[in-house]
Amino acid sequence: MAAARVRLKNLWQEQQLFERRALVAGAIIGLLTLALIARLVVLQVLRYDYYTELSQGNRVRTEPLPASRGVILDRHGEILAENRPAYQLELVREEVPDLDATLRGLAALGLLPADELDDTRRLVRSRRVFDSVPIRLRLTEEEVARFAVHRFEFPGVDIRTRLARSYPHGELGVHALGYVSAISEHDLERIDRGAYAGTTLIGKLGVESAYERELHGTNGFREILVNAQGRSVERLGALVPELETRDPVAGDDLVLALDLGVQRTAEDALGANRGAIVAIDPRNGDVLALVSRPGFDPNGFGRGLTRLEYQALEENIDRPLFNRALRGVYPPGSTIKPVMALAGLTYGVIAPTDSRFCRGFFTLPGSSHRFRDWKRGGHGQVDMIRAIAQSCDVYFYGLASLLGAERMATFLGHFGLGAPTGIDIGGEKTGLLPSPEWKKRTFKRPAEQVWFPGETVIFGIGQGYLLVTPLQLAHMAAIIAARGRSYQPRLVTGIRDPQTRRTRELAPKLLEEIQVGAPADWDTIIRGMVAVTQGGTASASARGAPYTIAGKTGTAQVFSIAQNEKYDESKIDERLRDHAWFIAFAPAEAPRIAVAVLIENGRSGSGAAAPVARKVLDAWLLK
């Protein structure tokens, strides 16, 4: 019988296998332990503040209390912008199960414009998940009732009562006041989000934007106890925490230099014309009226314009959103002639009694080109007073040739042309004050960099490259009225504490005191401007005034015509006709108001702009 085979265990090999498996298992356990420790470090150390805030948010929620925006008043205390209660639809993203479905559902109810869902979605996602984001402003009572019926379908969406901006006079003074609108993604990039938590609106233009910090105020907050579903409760079990509340501080009220009556008169006088009016007190720079027509109703922005409504404003050929008073640039035409005459006196190139014969055109030595006068037959013999009164182009062609472009540019610069006036709202254009040096810097081709004598000649009557804003011309008129004292134009004259009702007056800012050849030179120029309204080009508009008006008409060409071509208005498109200007101040002996009126394509300064200015002067001086 054969012996049975016996298989002996290899104990050493089994031990080696066990040790290898134990080592692998230990390594895995060690790695998992390290991962656990690392995660605990992240949760407990690195992100401690974040998760502490989240955990607190599970039981205590901080709800912002927006501050009431400051009120804007005119110089007599009339309310120009105020706050009124309004219902608005707000959404908290972290409480909304499906943002896209929620927005589509609200659009289906007619509570959101269907074509603006993408914009609304981006706005919501740009805010913090726990922020209450306004997605529709100023709901009507019918819309509030409609949402109330379907409220259970939209968790995270609710109606809140907020203070909404209201402009009781509609579009009156809109380009001075500006407007407020919903905080946009662009706004969020430049503001302190914490300071604007719970705030719906922010200033966009005009005073509302320039004085946003003063008007906004300081938001408060209150802590509320919530359960796991985020609902407000009085207590959680035995927990009754001490909840903190901080009341908001209302924004400051602003007192403007604007006179509501003068502003209304100016806008009514301008009517349906496109144009601008600026009235300034030459004694301190107070802007009494600032008009740009056509305008728009700022209340629409406060409630939230639809895309179609905003597009209609943007694409309107008359550009109602464009502030012509500050941003419109135009040739000033003959309105600068009094300053040109003053430059001639200051530099000593002419005397008040020096006369020139006007035969209807001017030629430079050695040239046959005729620079025509507005009066084809000419004005005959004219001295400085008569040249200003009758707006004789030939006289000022010759004066410009004597002065030269550099001296004209330097002198006009002292009167605020070619630079911002410094008014206390944004968006002001500088205009253009040309000079030979400017031309060299601006043009690239050498042939275009040459300043020609003919350019100096037309510079002298406010044509060519020279461009100004209506605000700049009003500022210039105010400087003449103040005999060289130049004050920075301003809209805001005081800041009022909403609690104490005490107003802190803001001091006017004197920019410069312009030096001329002799004090009598101011008398000469002002006599010439008075002669404009007493026998000169604006006599009809000043007739019957119980005060003395110093003024100057101006007509600015929109396009040039050939040397021998006759200007035929009937063959020219309405928007290519000349612009009408008139500047004035009164009473001439002790001026209290200076005004500039521009009517786009108004054809004649004397016929279109001067009558408008007369109504503005009457509104301030005869009220």
Each residue's pLDDT tens digit, 357-403: 999 999 999 888 999 988 888 999 999 999 999 999 999 999 999 99
Rounded to 5°, the CA angle 531-532-538 comes to 140
User: Averaged over 24-40, what is the pLDDT?
Assistant: 90
415 vs 92, residue with greater confidence = 415
Beta strands in 71-203 (DSSP E): 72-73, 79-92, 132-136, 157-166, 180-182, 201-203
State the Cα–Cα distance between residues 57 and 62, nearest whole angstrom: 8
% of the chain exceeding 70 in pLDDT = 91
Range list for CATH 3.90.1310.10 in the chain: 61-251
Q: Tell me which fold the domain 260-621 belongs to.
A: Beta-lactamase (3.40.710)
* Residues acting as catalytic residues: 334
What is the pLDDT at residue 609?
Answer: 93
Would you say 226 and 588 are in contact if contact means Cβ atoms under 8 Å apart?
no
Q: Residue 1: which pLDDT band, with cuts at 50, 70 and 90?
A: very low
Identify which of 103-107, 181-185, 345-349 has the greatest average pLDDT: 345-349
State the Cα–Cα distance between residues 405 and 384, nearest whole angstrom: 20
What is the pLDDT at residue 602?
Answer: 76
Would you say 358 and 382 are in contact if contact means Cβ atoms under 8 Å apart?
yes
Token look-up 């662009």 returns 186
What is the pLDDT at residue 570?
Answer: 55
Q: Which of 44-53, 91-100, 383-392 has the lowest mean pLDDT?
A: 44-53
State the Cα–Cα distance between residues 157 and 350, nearest whole angstrom: 76
Q: Which of 193-197, 232-236, 475-479, 533-537 has the lowest mean pLDDT?
A: 232-236
In this predicted model, what pLDDT tens digit does every residue of 466-493 receive, in sequence order? Answer: 999 999 999 999 999 999 999 999 999 9
Burial of 253 (C-beta count, 10 Å sphere; 0-12/13-18/19+): buried
Does 561 score more than 50 pLDDT? no
Q: Which CATH number fits domain 61-251: 3.90.1310.10, 3.40.50.620, 3.30.1360.70, 1.10.510.10?
A: 3.90.1310.10
What is the pLDDT at residue 574?
Answer: 66
94 contact partners, CB below 8 Å, separation of at least 6? 129, 130, 156
* 453 C-beta neighbours (distance < 10 Å), count: 15
In this predicted model, what pLDDT tens digit does every residue of 278-288 receive, in sequence order? Answer: 999 999 999 99
Mean pLDDT for the chain? 88
Would you say 138 and 164 are in contact if contact means Cβ atoms under 8 Å apart?
yes
Q: Residue 3: which pLDDT band, with cuts at 50, 70 and 90?
A: low
Q: Residue 241: which pLDDT band, with cuts at 50, 70 and 90?
A: low
Would you say 120 and 96 are in contact if contact means Cβ atoms under 8 Å apart?
no
What is the pLDDT at residue 233?
Answer: 59
Would you say 492 and 506 are in contact if contact means Cβ atoms under 8 Å apart?
yes
What is the pLDDT at residue 211?
Answer: 96
Residues 242-252: b if buried by 16+ CB within 10 A, e if exposed: eeeeeebebbb
In this predicted model, what pLDDT tens digit does every residue of 244-279 receive, in sequence order? Answer: 888 889 999 999 999 999 999 999 999 999 999 999
DSSP assignment of 563-609 equals TT----GGGS-GGGSPEEEEEEEESTTS--EEEEEEETT---IIIII
In this predicted model, what pLDDT tens digit does every residue of 583-604 receive, in sequence order? Answer: 999 999 999 999 999 999 877 7
Burial of 140 (C-beta count, 10 Å sphere; 0-12/13-18/19+): exposed
Question: Backbone phi, then psi, for 252, in 5-degree steps?
Answer: -70, 150
What is the pLDDT at residue 280?
Answer: 98
State the Cα–Cα distance between residues 158 and 231, nearest whole angstrom: 13
Q: Residue 230: which pLDDT band, with cuts at 50, 70 and 90?
A: low
Range list for CATH 3.40.710.10 in the chain: 260-621
258 vs 139, residue with greater confidence = 258
* DSSP label of 431: -
What is the pLDDT at residue 137?
Answer: 80
Name the pairing type of β-strands 72-73 and 253-256.
parallel
